[in-house]
């Protein structure tokens, strides 16, 4: 592959627009999507050029993502509480079925740990041994922890289970230090990854999601991050687990046994989804500032996947009530395809 000039790129863009109009393009493109702005900060298309100089394909940057047609109108669903923000995305048809305040910045709480897991999966193998430092104790007094002590060791795979199933804040710090070399470097890696994914309304200050006024995201950005993490089979397997038991080691090599339960009420059967919807898994997040948050991967009766996210619910009952109201909009939850 080789680079091409801006002039050449514009010419190719015009040519491909004509091809697309004729129905021969590699993707079906919406009206106006081929516009060119010389000083734009973003590139709408990736040009793949072979050695002869011929363009092989031009894909819209977000051709495989759900993109709302316009700014979310913000109407509440019937039965949904007025504080809620959220969205429902159809991954099969790449459509946004519902959106409310999806581009409003808000605190993510432990939804942050999805990005922590993604960066770890991208940079380390599952059998890499992690060692806890004394920083695993530097947490708020009421933060949820797995009880990791300085010198304790476990594999990245074990750490990811404790991070995503039990939402252990001390484990999030251990992952950050071991994967990034330092917490500050890992935070930079998280923010770099957010930009790469197009999550431009997101900024991370820590790896666990404990409150900070400069630590924020949006419901749509959380969809982008969660969707990227789902490309890892191990991530999908972990978020589907209701209970996890493991044995890790202390600083002297002694065994330490630990069993944790999921913070996701659907996986623990404390809450049932609407008829025709199967919850595969997801991640919760709760702080005083963020309220109660939840992002899910679910499927309809035909196995078609959806991502659903609720943020800023005022309590746990409201969270699952709002999520169920959202899941009722899944179109394929009945044999007739009607919600």
Inter-residue contact 224 to 197 (CB < 8 Å): yes
Containing 309, the helix (H) or strand (E) segment is strand 305-313
pLDDT at 271: 97
Instruction: Kindly tell me if the per-residue pLDDT of 55 is higher than 90.
Output: no
Distance (Å) of CA 157 to CA 1, 21, 237, 278, 319: 36, 48, 11, 26, 29
Q: What is the pLDDT of residues 73-106, one digit of tens each?
A: 467 788 888 888 999 999 999 999 999 999 999 9
CA distance 15 to 147: 61
Domain spans, the chain: 6-60, 65-339
pLDDT of residue 35: 44
User: Which structure tokens are listed for 237?
Assistant: 């397997």
Nearest one of 167, 204, 170 to 188, comparing CA atoms? 204
Antiparallel, parallel or unpaired: β 85-90 and 95-100: antiparallel
Radius of gyration of the chain measured on its C-alpha atoms = 22
Mean pLDDT of 315-328: 96
Q: What is the mean pLDDT of the chain?
A: 84
Residues 203-231: tens digit of each pLDDT? 999 999 998 999 999 999 999 999 999 99
Q: Is the pLDDT of residue 19 over 60?
A: no
Other C-beta atoms lying within 10 Å of the C-beta of residue 142: 8
CB 88 within 8 A of CB 95: no
Under a CB-based contact definition with an 8 Å cutoff, are residues 190 and 208 in contact?
A: no
End-to-end CA distance of the chain: 47
65-339: CATH architecture: 3-Layer(aba) Sandwich (3.40)
Q: Are 331 and 337 in contact (CB under 8 A)?
A: yes
Please give the average per-residue pLDDT across 308-317, as a whole number: 96
The secondary structure element, H or E, covering residue 171 is helix 169-180
The pLDDT tens digits for 166-212 are 999 999 999 999 999 999 999 999 999 999 999 999 999 999 999 89
The two beta strands, 95-100 and 129-131, are unpaired
What residues contact 113, with CB distance under 8 A and at least 6 apart? 163, 164, 167, 172, 207, 208, 209, 283, 285
pLDDT at 82: 84
What pLDDT, on a 0 to 100 scale, did the predictor assign at position 119?
A: 98
Mean pLDDT in residue range 109-132: 98
What SS3 class is residue 239?
helix
Percent of the chain at pLDDT > 90 equals 71
What per-residue confidence (pLDDT) applies to 61?
Answer: 54
CB-based contact 100:75 (threshold 8 Å): yes
Give pLDDT, residue 148: 97
Task: Report the pLDDT averaged over residues 258-286.
Answer: 97
The pTM of this model reads 0.81
Q: Alpha carbon of 151 to those of 145, 182, 249, 250: distances in Å?
A: 16, 16, 9, 6
Half-sphere exposure of 10 (CA within 13 A, CB side): 8
What pLDDT is attached to residue 63?
Answer: 63
Nearest to 207 by CA among 241, 159, 243: 159
Give yes or no for residue 39 having a pLDDT over 50.
Answer: no
Q: Provide the pLDDT for residue 200.
A: 94
Helices (H), 148-244: 156-165, 169-180, 183-197, 219-229, 233-239
């Amino acid at each position: 592959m080789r680079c091409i000039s801006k002039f050449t790129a514009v010419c190719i863009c015009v040519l491909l627009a004509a091809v697309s109009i004729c129905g021969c393009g590699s993707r079906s493109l919406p009206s106006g999507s081929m516009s060119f702005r010389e000083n734009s900060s973003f590139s709408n298309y990736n040009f793949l050029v072979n050695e002869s100089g011929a363009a092989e394909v031009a894909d819209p940057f977000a051709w495989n993502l759900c993109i709302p047609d316009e700014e979310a109108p913000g109407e509440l669903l019937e039965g949904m509480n007025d504080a809620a923000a959220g969205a429902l995305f159809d991954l099969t048809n790449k459509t946004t079925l519902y959106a409310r305040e999806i581009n409003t910045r808000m605190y993510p709480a432990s939804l942050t740990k999805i990005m922590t897991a993604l960066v770890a999966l991208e940079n380390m193998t599952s059998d890499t041994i992690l060692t806890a430092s004394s920083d695993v104790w530097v947490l708020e007094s009421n933060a949820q922890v797995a009880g990791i002590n300085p010198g304790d060791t476990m594999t990245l795979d074990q750490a990811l289970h404790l991070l995503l199933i039990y939402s252990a804040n001390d484990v999030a710090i251990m992952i950050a230090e071991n994967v990034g070399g330092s917490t500050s470097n890992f935070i930079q890696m998280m923010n770099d990854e957010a930009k790469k994914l197009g999550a431009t309304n997101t900024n991370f200050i820590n790896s666990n999601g404990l409150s900070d006024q400069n630590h924020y995201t949006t419901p749509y950005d959380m969809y982008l991050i969660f969707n990227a993490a789902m490309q890892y089979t191990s991530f999908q397997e972990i978020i589907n687990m209701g209970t996890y038991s493991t044995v890790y080691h202390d600083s002297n090599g002694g065994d330490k046994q630990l069993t944790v339960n999921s913070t996701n009420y659907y996986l623990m059967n404390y809450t049932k989804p609407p008829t025709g919807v199967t919850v595969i898994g997801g991640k919760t997040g709760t702080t005083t500032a963020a309220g109660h948050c939840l992002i899910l991967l679910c499927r309809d009766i035909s196995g078609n996947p959806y991502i659903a996210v609720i943020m800023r619910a005022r309590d746990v009952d409201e969270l699952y009530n709002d999520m169920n109201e959202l899941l009722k909009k899944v179109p394929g939850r009945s044999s007739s395809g009607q919600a």
